[in-house]
Amino acid sequence: MVREKRFNFILEKLRNNSEVGFSELSSDLNVSEDTIRRDIDMLADNGLLLKIRGGAIPRSHNPLSFKERIGHLQDDKEIIALKAQTLIKSGQTIFMDGGTSVYTLVSLLSTDIKLTVITNNTAIIPALSAYSGIELIVLGGHYLKESETIVGYQAIKMAENFQADLYFMGVCALDMQKGVTAIYMQEAELKKTMLEHSSMAIALSTFDKLETFEPYRVCPVQSLDYVITEMDSQNKIFEPYKKAGIKVL
């Protein structure tokens, strides 16, 4: 099996398991444990998993730069984007925050869509500018280069002036008990404001971010209306979310 296919297999297995081992992967892929160790080393070096003794575990966030992360799991994010598009209707006002899943959603919008989009995500500004029917409002404030977003007091006060129909929330981590959490405190505070000023909150999350958490709390999961991942919504991991009244796509 070529290396890229082995990488995909390892990452897919980690999405469904809390840990993978060298010997188990060696047997699954019919290659030597030395080959698996090299694969794990390369994936760990690129921030896609965390190497431990005898194997690897998922990591709650990806330390690659934003532009590098845009290309990671692209097919999965396109599935998320296509599901999210079913909730969008012309004439809506929408909050969009940071994250590569949000970037993918913007890139796949219908060319004739008419929307008002309010965002702190500087990476999506060029893409949104290409749509003649989209009125773009960019929040001002402090530029956080790690996520290519605008954060801080000014952004929060500006967001408070709007009432959005939808809020597409890029998720760093999502856990049934700990809720939605963020890597940066300033991002968490702005997410809270967008949530408070939206009629419907939609979390966009690749499956690997479920059952993980970061230091800064955004909201309990019950504050969400939808959770959208690339996985089949009938997966058993979503049962607690559905019982909490959250729709899963």
Report the CATH number at residue 7. Answer: 1.10.10
pTM above 0.75, yes or no: no
* Beta carbons of 202 and 169 less than 8 angstroms apart: yes
Residues 226 and 126 in one domain: yes
Residues 11 and 97 in one domain: no
What is the structure's pLDDT at 60?
A: 52
pLDDT for res 61: 45
62 part of a folded domain: no
Rounded distance between C-alpha atoms, residue 136 and residue 143, angstroms: 18
Q: Which of 57, 82, 100 is the last residue of a domain?
A: 57
Question: Is the same domain home to 85 and 53?
Answer: no
pLDDT < 70 regions, the chain: 1, 45-47, 59-74
pLDDT for 74 equals: 54
Residue 148 CA to residue 237 CA, distance in Å, equals: 31
- Residue 18: in which H helix or E strand, if any? none
Structure tokens at 191: 């997410």
Q: Is residue 108 domain-shared with residue 188, that is, in the same domain? A: yes
88 & 176 share domain: yes
For the chain, the domain total comes to: 2
- Residues 194-212 pLDDT 10s: 999 999 999 999 888 888 8
Q: 76 CB contacts (<8 Å, ≥6 apart)?
A: 206, 207, 230
- pLDDT value at position 19? 84
Domain assignment of residue 236, given as a range: 67-248
pLDDT at 62: 45
Residue-wise pLDDT for 114-164, tens only, equals: 999 999 999 999 989 989 999 999 999 999 988 889 999 999 999 999 999
Together in a domain, 124 and 211: yes
